[in-house]
Structure 1
Amino acid sequence: MAPKQAHGQTFIERRFDMTKGRVAIVGTGFVADLYMRSLASFPEIEVVSAYDINPANRARFCGYWNIRPAQDLEQLLSDQSVALVLNLTNPASHFTVSKACLDAGKHVYSEKPLALSVADARELCELAAKHSLELASAPCSLLGEAAQTAWQAVRTGKIGTPYLVYAELDDDFIPRAPYTKWRSESGAPWPYQDEFAVGCTLEHAGYYLTWLIAMFGSITRVISATGDLIPEKPIGNAPRAAPDFSCATLYFESGTVARLTCSIIASHDHRLRIFGENGTLEIARSWDNNSPVKLRRRYALRRKLITSPIATRIRLKQPTHPKVGRWGAASMNFALGPAEVLSAIAESRANRLSSKFALHLTEATLAIQQGDGVHEMSTRCPPIEPMDWARTS
């Protein structure tokens, strides 16, 4: 069970039957510790077991967090008290593990991407629908305070009509960083071979794609280009390294257009800027749920158009969600996604992180990674509801 952790922030706490708040983890690597620390902020959610194909990893993780180890996936899935399985395996295993969980009648929350092909992602969504199960995927930062604040500002017309978005997800020169020494809280190494093989686009683009899809609707067209600029990155048994740079132009059904860049070469930059007719919204850190959302208004002054040099911070008046500490470059509550799925199940309502949303996100991300020019999107997702605490200010 995740250890309790005190938080100074107040928040709207969702209560539900504890039987529906029992989860199991498959994959006990680096990211699993981030989930455990985040789950500690939701004491109504209990982690009852964990499994990893590597016995040493399983023993390390379960021993550190005092969780019952499952000897195999079948044993974990046979526990009738488990409502939701968190699929935290490496990306190449996401499809197989999620399919096994759905076949066993379990709701699934998967780390990103949902699958490594649109066909596999679509198969998972169809399987979930067939069995009336929830299927969702990371990232869940859309549910965080920074994203919800920015979205509320767009909805209430703070910048007028939003026309253009610049989104940056550059992580500095990672191939030259001491990544072999990076360890999680329980001692798991950073999975650098998987990271370089899967690539920064599949790993990171979703952090802003989810925000933009929620704000501006489904993506209708993706135009992308990529580059593998540092080919000597370690990738284990993978056939080749994924691109370490991508740049995409995204066309949304609302008419808004966005430019999204991802790289592990350019200096660290996680800014988001939304340009509207009356001003600009600015967020400096996409991986920080509490990153300030700032507004710069635009004025017509005599014969000039002036953008205010002074940015005003926009805040929500009501409590939002539990915050967590900073781990490396991130200060995100990874449990917001699982908590949303469990709450939706308990309340018999639509899950904000629906399978159609996950499928649309997967297709868009893969289209950017492929970098083969114009991709007309084949999927759409239904409108997404803002969090209750972000509906008004």
Structure 2
Amino acid sequence: MAEHRIGILGSGNIFGRYVTGLSRYPSLKIARVGDIDTARAKEAATEFDIPAWGDDEDLYADDSIDIVVNLTPPVHHAATITTALRAGKHVYVEKPLATRVDDARAVLEVAAETGKILGSAPDTFLGSASQTARKALDDGLIGEPIGASFFIGHSKAEKWHPDPRFLFQAGGGPVLDMGPYSLAILVNLLGPVASVTASSRIGAAVRTVTSPNRAVDTIDVDVPTHAAAIFTFASGAIASAQLSFDVWDSDLPHIEVYGTKGTLSLANPNHFDGDVRVKRHTDDEWIVLPPATELFGAVGTREQTRRGLGVHDLATAIEGGPHRANATFAFHVLESLTAVQTSSDNSTPVHLTTTCDRPAPLWSSATA
């Protein structure tokens, strides 16, 4: 792969995870940090030995940068993606693609107009766990997929994040903050969603922040923090989901897929790797499947939280390869998740207007 020079826009809490993850790829060079808080940009550049830093305008104007990794808060995604695309950059953005479907659609139009490639998190479906599950399904290990379930509990961000306000504002909440991880994996496994039926509510209206280095003491909650949803896939599979920032503790599984011949169980969808277990109707015990692709990070270590596979995926697409974590896929996941609130507000099912292809499996190229 040719060298690609990366500018990271936003130097907040997840910044270091991208720096450490991208260090796996010698052809991806982080050359600049951009942040409206230039002091924070300088601090990040100094800590990670990145040669240039400045504000967002400096990043857009840097002609040596060809990929912008956008780590700004969700409410700024649409505007910052558009500006970066028009500045001649390819863009990889943290999830969600935008906070509203109309904004996301406009962003895709700008990408098409400029001819630049737009990719979006979540990219954990590119990890060994989701790819192993995909291979199991494609190989018919559990027969025809009939249903699935996923459960999202509290991330307890109030205890560790210095300023978790964005998690309880537009673009946040359990549906748009954590939901993309699980649903992207299920779309990779089962294909696109056809309709959504859901109900949601706000739990505690004010949250207390106890992080030792907190920037705020309390948060007023602006978005629903507990939702139950049914996702009906175009394939006919039906998934039930609980998405909550009010469930602090539980013993529920992360993701399960139920087929005519057995069940698949996946680990934390926020991680790239982890055990994928299968139990067919003829099995006495659960069986851990061997990883279908290389691990991105050692299971059970801090490597589990690093990021960067999606940026490498985008760079591969620039070189003419397949683009798996693409904007059309992310747009469909976004519409599916925003339909949760629409369905709840109107007490009716929402039939989706978007669709997407199942991404090409990584294991096929790895084993070809």
Partner of 1:353: 325
Give, as a single letter, the amino acid of the residue that structure 2 aligns with 1:113: P
Give the counterpart of 1:245 among 223, 226, 241: 226
TM-score between both structures, scaled by the size of structure 2:
0.89
- Report the aligned-residue RMSD: 2.4
> In structure 2, how many angstroms separate the alpha carbons of the residues matched to 1:366 and 1:239?
21
Matched, 1:17 2:6: no
Give, as a single letter, the amino acid of the residue that structure 2 aligns with 1:258: A
Partner of 1:215: 189
> In structure 2, how many angstroms separate the alpha carbons of the residues matched to 1:168 and 1:81?
43
Give the counterpart of 1:367 among 329, 339, 358: 339
Matched, 1:280 2:263: yes
Partner of 1:48: 31
Partner of 1:194: 166
Give, as a single letter, the amino acid of the residue that structure 2 aligns with 1:87: N
Structure 2 unaligned segments of length 5 or more: list them: 210-215
1:57-72 correspondence to structure 2 within 5 Å: 57-72=40-55
Partner of 1:376: 351
- Specify whether residues 315 and 369 from structure 1 end up closer, same or farther in structure 2 by C-alpha distance, changes over 3 A only: farther
Partner of 1:9: none
Partner of 1:88: 71
Partner of 2:205: 231
Matched, 1:257 2:238: yes
TM-score between both structures, scaled by the size of structure 1:
0.84
Flag as ranges the 4+ runs of structure 1 deviating above 6 A: 234-239
1:354 to partner: Cα distance: 1.8
| Contact 1:41-1:322 within 8 A present in 2 as well | no
* Equivalent position SS for 2:207: coil
Q: How many residues align?
A: 354
| Contact 2:135-2:363 within 8 A present in 1 as well | no
* Equivalent position SS for 1:230: coil
1:356 to partner: Cα distance: 1.1
Partner of 1:138: 121
> In structure 2, how many angstroms separate the alpha carbons of the residues matched to 1:220 and 1:178?
37
Give, as a single letter, the amino acid of the residue that structure 1 aligns with 2:235: S
- Specify whether residues 123 and 26 from structure 1 end up closer, same or farther in structure 2 by C-alpha distance, changes over 3 A only: same
Give, as a single letter, the amino acid of the residue that structure 1 aligns with 2:179: A
Partner of 2:151: 168
Give the counterpart of 2:309 among 320, 332, 336: 336
> In structure 2, how many angstroms separate the alpha carbons of the residues matched to 1:92 and 1:327?
31
* CA deviation vs aligned residue, 1:213-257 (integer Å, no higher than 9, x gap): 122221110111111011112698998521111111101111111
* Equivalent position SS for 1:379: coil
> In structure 1, how many angstroms separate the alpha carbons of the residues matched to 2:52 and 2:167?
26
* Equivalent position SS for 2:199: strand
Structure 1 unaligned segments of length 5 or more: list them: 1-15, 183-188, 300-307
| Contact 1:270-1:286 within 8 A present in 2 as well | no
> In structure 2, how many angstroms separate the alpha carbons of the residues matched to 1:134 and 1:145?
24
> In structure 1, how many angstroms separate the alpha carbons of the residues matched to 2:203 and 2:75?
23
> In structure 2, how many angstroms separate the alpha carbons of the residues matched to 1:39 and 1:381?
27
Percent of residue pairs identical: 27
